[in-house]
Amino acid sequence: MTLPLSTDYSPMEAKLVDTIPTGDQWLYEPKWDGFRCLAFRDGDSVELMSKAGKPLTRYFPDVADALRAIAARKFVLDGEIVIVHGEALSFDDLLMRIHPAASRVKKLAAETPGTLIVFDLLVDARGKALVAEPFAERREALERFFAEEAHPARVRLSPATRDLEVVEKWMESVGSGLDGIVAKRADLAYQSGNRLGMQKMKQIRTADCVVGGFRYASKGKVVGSLLLGLYDDAGLLQHVGFTSNIPSRDKAEVTTTLEKLVEPPGFTGRAPGGPSRWSTERTGQWEPLATKLVVEVHYDYFDGDRFRHGTSFVRWRPDKAPKQCTLAQVAQESRSAAMLMK
């Protein structure tokens, strides 16, 4: 009797670094700008799971159908769901898929179908778990899997290389859906949930932050700024800065969403201060939120325990769990800055 396929896996994560690691032990891949996804196939059953462990299948029925078209009937793939828009990838189209109405999702799946770009094989076509095998062997197995089993147009094999000249060309192409490089230790097993064997380098500094509170604008009862937090090693949400460039057209809707989530304490570690010589009494006040929202921001510098300046709002990240937003994202930069002081 064949045992049912286990879905007890969590994605391997990457540590943000300033330079690409070099050496024979590293394999390199493009870093795709999409939704991280573990794909489980067991007979006719297909399940898609986000990096946060949340189900994605209902939002991407087109990707699930593409996986059912693969000859193999049992496997686990690690990859990234993307949507191609013209000659680029569209993260906005991905966000539109996270919609409660099944009819809306079905319409979007037909108009802007998704693609799963695959970069790791955790269970092969025979149902054998490969997570204990070194990545170099998993990569060879993945390439065989695509050669023998997987041919659907919307399930694609991500390129990988040891050639740093190729990596440099990828970095020159950053943008339009490619936002950096991922380096993986070829000699290590699959490192679920930690950052030991995988590093990433981005051209633009970004961080995923928890929205721990907000302030109203000085005029009108609409949101003026989102207050950002990152979790420390003790699990405390530390206030690290703010972002205020929320598009004007979205402020009313965002304000309504935020007001429904008002709930103390918001930040469980360092909290925003009150009024200062730069703020009015009203702008110094803030509303604490239940820690449910994650936002991606651009920043120029992280100094000590906070963003040195205000950040720029990039997008909401419903695919990320708040607990995944940790200070580890910016720890490397803090250390690099400290080195300059010596």
Q: Give domain limits for the chain.
A: 15-202, 206-340
The 10s digit of each residue's pLDDT in 193-244 is: 777 789 988 777 889 999 999 999 988 889 999 999 999 999 999 999 999 9
Q: Which fold has domain 206-340?
A: OB fold (Dihydrolipoamide Acetyltransferase, E2P) (2.40.50)
pLDDT band at 281 (very low <50, low <70, confident <90, very high): very low
Mark whether 31 is an active-site residue. Answer: yes
% of the chain with per-residue pLDDT over 70: 89
Q: Which of 15, 31, 200, 320 is catalytic?
A: 31
Question: Residue 126 has what pLDDT?
Answer: 92
Q: Which fold has domain 15-202?
A: D-amino Acid Aminotransferase; Chain A, domain 1 (3.30.470)
pLDDT at 257 over 80: yes
What is the rounded average pLDDT of the residues 296-303? Answer: 82
SS3 letters across the chain = CCCCCCCCCCCECCEECCCCCCCCCEEEEEEECCEEEEEEEECCEEEEEECCCCECHHHCHHHHHHHHCCCCCEEEEEEEEEEEECCEECHHHHHHHCCCCHHHHHHHHHHCCEEEEEEEEEECCCCCECCCCCHHHHHHHHHHHHHHCCCCCCEEECCCECCHHHHHHHHHCCECCEEEEEEEECCCCCCECCCCCEEEEECCCEEEEEEEEEEECCCCCCEEEEEEEEECCCCCEEEEEEECCCCHHHHHHHHHHHHHCECCCCCCCCCCCCCCCCCCHHHHCCEEECCCCEEEEECCCEECCEECCCEEEEEECCCCCHHHCECHHHHHHHHHHHHHCC
What is the rounded average pLDDT of the residues 292-296? Answer: 96
What is the rounded average pLDDT of the residues 121-127? Answer: 94
pLDDT at 339 over 80: no
